[in-house]
Amino acid sequence: MRLFLLCAYVLLFSGLFSTAFALGPELASAAKQQDTAAQGNTIGKPSGEEVFKANCARCHMPPMSLSPRITGTVVMHMRARARLSREDEKLLLKYLAP
Amino acid sequence: MRIAQLRYEFRIASYMLVLMLGAVLSGSLTAQETKPSENHAGYIPAISGGLGYVHNVNGGITSLEPQINPVLLVPFGSHVLLESRTSFTGFFERRDLTSGPFTGKVFKEVDYAQVNWLANTHIIATAGRYLLPFGLYSDRLGPLWIRNLQDTPITATIGTRTSGSGDGFMLRGVVVQKPSYSVQYTAYFSALSNINQLQSARTAGGDVSIYFPRARLEAGTSYQRFLQDHEINSSATYISWQPSSMPLDIKVEGDYSYNGRGYWIESAYLLKQLPISQIFQRTQIVSRMQQFFPTNGGGNSLPTVNTNRFDIGLNYYFRDDLRFISSYGRTFSSHGNANIWNVGFTYRFLFPLWPGRTK
């Protein structure tokens, strides 16, 4: 049992931490860029792109493209599944089918 | 006594259905009256879903499992959505398990067939057959093209008895939303149904979660009360984290029920940030460990002895909708240890049902 737990934890987290340390400088740079972008949002509300990235990737790989003809249908479906707010739905629609 | 109770439940369900339909119609009319929105999104019926094939070897026994799960989406205006998903799952094994020709059958099941009324931020009312919202799986990670590992966690059957779906009504929505966090809820009641393809148990339950969009961290808890035969409680607590600085996906869930308790930890890392060839950056490494401890003899689709399992997988995304999947797992229990191999592919499809223009 102990061996199983030890192996599992080591495998799970060693890859994660080694990757994090190896890419430390690049990740810090990316995070800084994101902070700058967030500060540039004058009204403090997320953009459609931010809502898209923050919510779609919670469960699955976000689609690369989406036909505008069914954007409304798909966003309704996702709003019901992911329990998104009406405001998030509006931002997503504006982002995906401007 | 039992018949009287069933009649009472049927009457309540009828009243709720009438209320839902009224709400749906009023919502639809309201949607038609609203002014045109600031986008060009179309509301054409669509077919979505996933298909895939998994070659599974579990303890030396090979099974072939092709699947297709089409989802039909039919909107009525911008506030009412009819959606349904049917699963067609083939299961083929050798006649003598390890030798002989492959034989088997295709199982079909209606996972959900529901009407959603997206009233406002706080209320999304659902009537019909829906997936029981419990923990991270079932409602969210069930589709084969979404899940990182094809085998569901051992505890995935907790809180989803008996078919994984409920027949009744459900409310969900956002309680409060701020720039730094949002709180979501779900509450449902399901009636007993023995109708072919629409089986469900009499249950009630709900889910509450808090999501921090900046950290992309979600924590939640689910509860279910099983209201027939032995009335039992089930609960789950989960955390899901996808840090924005790296393509990492970590999910943790602990489940408890009368028949046992267990937990699983899953991590998935896409190699797209590593300084390697772009071809290999589409590779995803997945791992999951889990433990289950039966109580009161286990059962109800749960192991009857202490069970540990570890899985490691390798997925390759040819595109965002097409991927190769593979995994190796090992189960440890007093009933014997076993190796589990999965190899296959998944594909997500999404297209309009007919030609049409945007708004």
d(CA A65, CA B142): 23
Q: What is the pLDDT of residue A43?
A: 53
Tokens 């589409």 correspond to what residue?
B282
The CATH label, of 1.10.600.10, 2.40.160.10, 1.10.3720.10, 1.10.10.10, for the domain at B2-33+44-352 is 2.40.160.10
Q: What percent of chain B has pLDDT over 70?
A: 88
CB contact under 8 A, B358 and A69: yes
* Chain B CB contacts of A64 below 8 Å: 319-320
d(CA B50, CA B117): 25
* Chain B CB contacts of A30 below 8 Å: 245
Residue B228 sits at φ, ψ, to 5 deg, of -140, 160
- Mind listing the pLDDT tens digit for each residue in B303-354? 999 999 999 999 999 999 999 999 999 999 999 899 999 999 999 999 998 8
Please indicate if any CB of chain B lies within 8 Å of the CB of A53.
Answer: yes
Q: What is the pLDDT of residue B298?
A: 86
Instruction: Verify cis geometry, omega within 30 degrees of 0, for the bond prior to B162.
Output: yes
The mean per-residue pLDDT over the stretch A64-70 comes to: 85
Which of B78, B106, B79 lies closest to B92, judged by CA? B106
Please indicate if any CB of chain A lies within 8 Å of the CB of B77.
Answer: no
Q: What is the pLDDT of residue B30?
A: 41
pLDDT at B29 over 90: no
pLDDT at B274 over 80: yes
Is B163 or B322 the better-scoring residue by pLDDT? B322
> If you measure CA to CA, which chain B residue comes closest to A65?
B320
**Domain ranges across chain B:** 2-33+44-352
The mean per-residue pLDDT over the stretch A66-95 comes to: 92
Is the dihedral angle over the CA atoms B135, A61, A10, B57 positive or is it negative? positive
Q: What is the pLDDT of residue A68?
A: 87
> If you measure CA to CA, which chain A residue comes closest to B143?
A60
pLDDT at B302 over 60: yes
Residue B86 sits at φ, ψ, to 5 deg, of -120, 135
pLDDT at B107 over 80: yes
- Mind listing the pLDDT tens digit for each residue in A24-50? 444 444 444 444 443 434 456 678 888
d(CA A21, CA A60): 26
**Taking the model in full, what pTM does it have?**
0.81
CB atoms near residue B228 (< 10 Å)? 12
Tell me whether strands B248-257 and B260-270 are parallel, antiparallel or unpaired. antiparallel
pLDDT at B55 over 50: yes
Nearest residue, CB atoms, A71 vs list B42, B141, B289? B42
Q: What is the pLDDT of residue B14?
A: 54
Residues 56-95 of A with CB under 8 A from B: 57-64, 66-77, 79-90, 93-94
